[in-house]
Amino acid sequence: MGKMMKAVVFHGKEDLRFQEVPEPECGKGQVKIKPACDLHEYLGGPAICPTTPHPITGEQVPLTFGHEFSGTVEEVGEGVTKFKAGDRVCVQPIIYDDECGSCKEGLINCCDKNGFVGLSGWGGGLSEHVVLPEYCVIPIPDNVPLDVAALVEPLSVGWHAVAISPFKKGDSALVIGGGPIGLSVIQALKAKGCDNIIVTEVSSMRKQYAQDFGAHHILDPTKDDIVARCRELSDNKGVHMAFDAAGVQAALTSAVKAVRARGTIINIALWEKPFQLMPNDMIFRERKWIGVATYVAGDFQEVLEAISSGRMKNVEQMITKRIGLDEVVEGGFKALVKDKDRQVKILVRAGDGEV
C-alpha cells in the first residue's frame, strides 16, 4: 500500500467522515497541491455528487470533498511549465470534456458532462494533498492571502452573474437573498460601479452582512412590499435587473414584478423543485429571464485582479469561522446547518500555513 493521507470523505446525505485515503501521485501534466479551503454541500447530499460513475472522472460516492480552495504547489509533473513548487494558487474546479458543443464554444461551465473537483472526483480541498490537471490551477497575486484566495470560487459565481447580465453603470439591481452567493453578487456589483443595490433578506445577521458588503437598501419580505419599495427606489420604474440567489417561489414572483419593462431576472440559485412563472408577466413588459451556471474561463483571474487592485474590498469578512481539517463535521458543516444565519464561509486549515 502506498502513502496515506487524511481527508474528509462524503458517503451520503449528512454522512461525512474524517478518514485515511491514498495520497495521490503527481503525473504528466498535473500539479500536486497542499490545500487550504472552505466548504459547502452537506445537507443537499448527492444532488451534485454522483451516485453512479461520473462520465469523466469515473468516480462516485464516497468522494473526497472540497471545491472552494487555495493552497501551495508541492510538485509538478512532466510538461508543466507555468508552476513550480512553492507557488501559491487557487483552484478553478470545473471538470469538462473539451469535446462537446459548449466546450468548443469556450463555455466549459455548460459542458454536457461537467462536474467539479471535490464534488465529482479527482480528490478535493478537504484533504492534505490533491493532484489536478494544470488547467485547474490559477496563480495568486502576491498581495492576496491564501485565505482570501479560497473565496475566489464563490466570488466568481457572483462575478459571472453580473458579467453575463446587461448591467451598466447607472443601473439599479435587486439581489434576492443575503447568503454567500447573494453577498458575492453585491461585491461584484460594487466592484463594477453599481450605486443602487437593493437586497431582500429575512435574517437580521445576513441583513447586516449585506450592508457591510455594500448594499444601499435592505428590505425584509416579511415586512416590506418588495414590488412597491423597489419602484420607489428606482424612479418609480422598477429595478433594471434582479439577481435570484435564493431559489424561493415567493421571492421570484415578487422579483419579476419588481423589474421594470425590458428588465432582466438573472437566476443563480439551484432549485430543488420546479417553480411557477406567469408568462404574461414577462410578455407584457418584455422582461427577460436568464439562467447562470457558475463561471467561465477567465472569471477567477478577473476576481483576483479586482481583489488585488482593491476594487473588491474586505472579502475576508466572508470568513466567519476557522477550523482544522479534523473539526470539519462538528465545527464546520453542522455549524453551517445549525447556525446558518451567522455563518457565511467556514475556512478549513488543511495543514500548516498562513491560514
Locus of grid cell 465545527: 331
Listed by start position, the domains of the chain span 4-139+314-349, 157-291
Locus of grid cell 463555455: 107
Q: Which residues pair with 51 in a beta bridge?
A: none
pLDDT of residue 48: 81
- φ/ψ of 337, rounded to 5, equals -75, -50
Total-model pTM: 0.93
What is the assigned CATH class of domain 4-139+314-349? alpha beta
Mean pLDDT by 10 residues, the chain (355 residues): 89 88 97 80 62 97 94 97 97 97 96 96 95 98 95 96 98 96 97 97 94 97 97 97 96 97 97 93 97 96 97 91 81 63 78 55
pLDDT of residue 214: 95
pLDDT of residue 196: 98
Topology of the domain covering 157-291? Rossmann fold (3.40.50)
CB 128: neighbour CB atoms within 10 A? 17
Asked if the domains 4-139+314-349 and 157-291 are classified in one and the same CATH topology, the answer is no
pLDDT of residue 344: 77
Sequence length of the chain is 355
Could you write out the three-class secondary structure of 241-275? EEEECCCCHHHHHHHHHHEEEEEEEEECCCCCCCC
